[in-house]
Amino acid sequence: MSGSRSLSSGLRALQPAAFGADPGGARLARIRTSPHFKDGVFQNPGGPARTRPSGSMLDFAKVYFDRDQRPRRGPRGTVPVHATTLADLSRPPVTGLRLTWMGHSSVLAEIDGHRVLFDPVWGERCSPFAFAGPKRLHPVPLPLAALGPVDVVVISHDHYDHLDLPTIKALAGTDTRFAVPLGVGAHLEHWGVSADRLRELDWHESTRVGGLTLTATPARHFCGRGLRNTQHTLWASWAVAGDRHRIYHSGDTGYFEGFKDIGAQHGPFDATMIQIGAYSEFWPDIHMTPEEGVRAHLDLQGGRAHGALLPIHWGTFNLATHAWAEPGEWTLAAAGAVGQAVAVPVPGEPFEPAGDLPARPWWRDVSLPLNRKWPVPEITPDTSRDDLDLVGEG
């Protein structure tokens, strides 16, 4: 028995630090009493979700290794990046709300005098290893140290493209707080974040940081970092409310009816940050297509085109078989079909959702052309064709 424990301890010692740590003690006891934890794992809203590629692996391999399509999965030139400066971020937003997409799902939100950093990934690869795994397709717009003080870092779940060890270690040396889904705090404590700076929430729980209310809301996804995936860490989307503004970050999620409930309870939102990339017919339950992302935004807004939609989870890492530029093109088509305002900034370009939105389809300068008709949401009774705003049609 002692030999078995020694072997287990030895194997743990060989694991990369990026694997993090499994929840234990009081944290694990709290997980086991969660209404969303059953049969030893967290459960998805809407029933079980397929978390591994479905269908034939041969069919998947044919798509993945298709010689004609592979060149489309990355840019053919240098991805433009706005070199975010201190001047960009030192002036308070005129409207009280400003968003800066740093690439993938990383967004700095300046809201009602507070600064929220969602899913910060400044690492070169979203991987536990420095020598392998998906590599950045563009540099980060500015060094993490140049970002300035952040009131709270919000993490949606513990996958490598959302929870990045080098980034968290750098932030551990500041006095920022962290709002994370239940169980994820075990990773952060393992990496040096003190327990008193953690706000660890189950779905529908809220916490106050300064003048902000942050609420963990449901998402349809999964978790895991190590070789042994215990499914003991929760995934979440987030609603953040200030004195005047409300914003929403989807994290990673498949489409589900729960967006309507989230919108009814916490919306409408001045801006949403919605996952629209890394989708596939091989894993339709855990990532949304752009059409589904626009539909989710409308659900969050009570069924009408309202606020600004910022597409996230695309452009920075190659994580699926679709063309690199496809999420951008499809989002413009889907949003335009229902008159929804959409912001498509280059990484690092700050904008205010109540102001002029960045609308130029910049990716066309560095991608192969995509000539196809995109599936779009249906026009709802609340959306008049006279109100259509065909953003990015030029």
99-148: per-residue pLDDT in tens?
A: 999 999 999 999 999 999 999 999 999 999 989 899 999 999 999 999 99
pLDDT of residue 384: 43
d(CA 248, CA 238): 6
pLDDT of residue 386: 43
pLDDT of residue 311: 98
Strand partners, 275: 312
Distances (CA, A) of 95 to 82, 87, 91, 354: 21, 17, 12, 7
Amino acid at residue number 15: Q
Distances (CA, A) of 330 to 104, 128, 196, 311, 323: 17, 31, 43, 11, 11
pLDDT of residue 85: 83
pLDDT (tens digit, 9 = 90+) per residue, 202-225?
A: 999 999 999 999 999 999 999 988
Whether residue 249 contacts residue 262, with contact meaning beta carbons closer than 8 Å, is answered with no
Provide the pairing of β-strand 350-351 with 308-312.
unpaired
Whether residue 251 contacts residue 275, with contact meaning beta carbons closer than 8 Å, is answered with yes
pLDDT of residue 46: 87
- Which portions of the chain are predicted below pLDDT 70? 1-14, 52-67, 69-71, 227-230, 379-394
